[in-house]
Structure 1
């Protein structure tokens, strides 16, 4: 097995099954462990139970949106250092600024490519490895 890249436990939060499945396929091809959540509440339970090293979180979701989900994760001292990358079909300056206000590290515009997703894992997965 190729261990040149660090294996990372990644949580993908999106209410779209298509986005979750494609992210899962891309990440598994990159050798990462993948957890999936279809809304903010599901994500919070999985963060608590599985302690992912990186979280990709959609912004527009029912019940809890991505900003609220990220803010709750970041307020918990155990998970404050866990990097969160927002996923959105909108690429607005306002959205990016609002994401930074709640503590997200970066922003990927949907549809993302396998390369963009794996580059984000490489960049941010190492941050959380160092933090733990």
Structure 2
């Protein structure tokens, strides 16, 4: 599966520079335009300007965590339909359930593979782009 994601804008919200850099490299190779944010506040400031097609958000972040960030995105009428994928190093049922409550579309456990990342994009966004 080597889909071409050249028109897709993907936002990565993670306080880990390593995760941001790794994910950005992977997605850029797949043709995505990548917007990175270091936390929820940073992301919310950038979302309106960049209008990403899909957002990956880490759960454990300072100031505004992934759940709060996801809830704020989903409560905004302009971005409520933007897929939000939660990223977490915890693979707990509670975390997944809480993610669903705030409106996340999927949950990936770290460390995630390149394929998991691209599959998530394929599932939530690429289908709409391919006519």
Match of 2:81 in 1: 81
Q: Report SS of the residue matched to 1:35.
A: strand
Q: TM-score, normalised by structure 1?
A: 0.92
Distance 1:19 1:49, change over 3 A: same
Q: Report SS of the residue matched to 2:85.
A: strand
> RCO greater where, 1 or 2, for CA within 8 Å and sep 6 or more?
1
**Partner Cα distance (2:92, 2:3) in 1:** 35
What value does the CA root-mean-square deviation take over the aligned residues?
1.6
**Partner Cα distance (1:53, 1:112) in 2:** 20
Structure 2 unpaired stretches of 5+: none
Q: Report SS of the residue matched to 1:10.
A: strand
**Partner Cα distance (2:48, 2:41) in 1:** 11
Matched, 1:48 2:48: yes
Report 1:36-115 matches (<5 A). Answer: 36-115=36-115
Structure 1 unpaired stretches of 5+: none
Deviations 1:3-42, CA, capped at 9 Å, x for gaps: 9524310000000000000100110111111000000000
